[in-house]
Amino acid sequence: MTVEELAREIGAEVTGDGKATITSAATLEDAQAGQISFLANPKYAKQIDSTKATAVILAPKIAATAKNVTLLRAADPYFAFMKAVIRLHGHRKHPFAGVHTDAHVDPGASIGENTVIYPGVYVGPRSKIGRDCILYPNVTIYEDCIIGDRVIVHASTVIGADGYGFATHKGEHHKLPQIGNVIIEDDVEIGAGCSIERAALDSTIIGKGTKIDQLVVVGHGSKIGPHCLLVAQTGIAGSVTLGHHVTLAGQTGVSGHLKIGNNVTIGAQSGVISDIDDQATLVGSPAMPVSHARRVYMLFTQLPDIVERIKALEDKIEELGSSSAGDGAEVV
């Protein structure tokens, strides 16, 4: 399609050759003639001068005057680029419809219309899968779990495995039956190799529109609010509550029974050990407000020098003390 046609569909304004043809999308570095790319961060604006892309989507405030590139200005460049990729490439086409013959769906389970279930999937008794869902190969859905509409679950993820519940008595660990379930609300996407544990007594809940990356664990009885982002290798212990629009960056760990407010952002590899108020941004282990963390880590990187300075001061004090004692003066 032409740049002008694409611009109309993604809500962008064209500067340059609107008649140029676009066939596909690529990164700024890899793009060639006939391809479109995007620029969201102003500090990479110089890359527009070297890209071979035919067109680039960028924000109105980013200064760029490239002679050989047509510019499409959009208020949200990444979102506009997403729409362009969908228009040019579309989503993955499934090789079959419905439930594959190599999947096992218990007769007591319920599957909604237009849901695609790949080979190796297991859906247990009394579980309910909504409409327009996709369950990729080897996904396991234990009994009594409920999955809403338009949910995507990637390969080898397990939903509804027993939570980590044991009663320790006289030095031995005794399993507590996990009689709850998991509820996945509408429009959730769960990456490959994740584990969403069933609750001990009630429900583990993943809120509407939440997106979960690969290798994430959500502990039993946790309540993840709507539109959260859980990035790869995040681990959430049991009975944690997340508000809406919470972002947990990669390898974040959250201790059990905590409450994290709305619109909270936690930096990568952080360790959360206390409740967090709304709108907070924290980093570090233990997680701390980002403004405080900057000072902490600035000093942390200087610790060897600080220790040497302290040793030098101690030696100087000892030397002064010995000198004063030798003169017969009282040292206080």
Catalytic residue among 154, 220, 227, 244: 220
In total, the chain counts a number of residues equal to 332
Q: What is the CA radius of gyration of the chain?
A: 28
How far is 300 from 23, CA to CA, in rounded Å? 51
How far is 204 from 190, CA to CA, in rounded Å? 14
H or E element, residue 223? strand 223-224
> What one-character DSSP code corresponds to residue 138?
T
Q: How far is CA 17 from the centre of its chain?
A: 37
Active site residue 220: yes
CB contact set of 220 (below 8 Å; sequence gap of 6+): 162, 163, 164, 165, 178, 180, 197, 198, 199, 200, 204, 238, 239
B/e letters for 57-84, b = 16+ CB within 10 Å, e = fewer, are bbbeebebebeebbbbbbeebeebbebb
Q: Which sequence positions are flagged as catalytic?
A: 220
